[in-house]
Amino acid sequence: MKCKIAILVPETGMVQMDWALQIADIKKPDRKIITMRGGYPLDQARNILVRTALEMGAEWIFFLDSDILLPKGTIEKMISRNRPLLSGLYKRKSETGSIWCCGIRNLDGEAFRFTNNSDWEDELMSTDVVGAGCLLIHRKVFETISIMYPALPWFQWCSDRGYKPEQFPDPLMYNAGEDVYFCLLAKKCGFEVIIDTTIKCEHIATAYIGEKGVKMEKTI
């Protein structure tokens, strides 16, 4: 089935009711929601979903993780920006929730710092890496990566898989998560990673309450 926008959900098998209810708001005739239940590593799941979307002729690919709640009108607003790689904002899962998923490269170029700024003056800001929980990507990004780096997958979880830094065009791709890897690869292909600071999502976390108090799940 052809579609203009493919909404890709690498879900883990269980979603909260608030997340499920938002699907009714984002479904449109020109959109196709493609899900992949657990069983594949996350990087492989993202690659399979992207390949499916491209084969369907999707112009825009929107990653929506199964623990992200979108503000109303998010997809329409993000597409209206007409940027090939654009992310919304959401906080990491932690007891303070103080870190936005937006990484800026340190001056020495060897690591990232994650900002907790939630009051930017500009609506669109350039950054180095973002999470893929609310991420809009034009198909030309994937097509360009395939031309410039045909031996590399779009998404790759490199940690503990025997890779060496020299195998990648950016050494920080080594031991990076699949979303950081993708952003660095896209930047090497000439694309700018942009965040829309007006798109502030909610990140669903699980808390375990025991006799010693509250313990948050240890995922981002």
Domains of the chain: which residue ranges?
5-216
Q: Whole-prediction pTM value?
A: 0.88
Q: Which of 66, 68, 69 is nearest to 13 (CA)?
A: 66
List C-alpha distances in Å: 126 to 82, 123, 146, 189. Answer: 14, 10, 23, 16
Q: Domain spanning 5-216 has what CATH number?
A: 3.90.550.40
Q: What pLDDT score was predicted for residue 44?
A: 92
Task: List, in sequence order, the alpha helices (H) in the chain.
Answer: 17-26, 42-55, 74-80, 139-148, 178-188
pLDDT in tens, 66-118: 899 999 999 999 999 999 999 999 887 766 665 667 777 777 767 677 766 66
Q: What pLDDT score was predicted for residue 2?
A: 73
**More confident position, 149 or 177:** 149
Using the predicted structure, report yes or no on whether residue 158 has a pLDDT greater than 80.
no
Residue type present at position 16:
Q
Q: What is the percent of the chain with per-residue pLDDT over 70, rounded to a whole number?
A: 85
Q: What pLDDT score was predicted for residue 210?
A: 76
pLDDT in tens, 10-66: 876 678 888 888 988 898 888 999 888 767 888 999 999 999 999 999 999 999 998
- Which residues does 198 contact at the CB level (< 8 Å), separation at least 6? 77, 123
CA angle 25, 92, 33 (to 5 degrees): 30
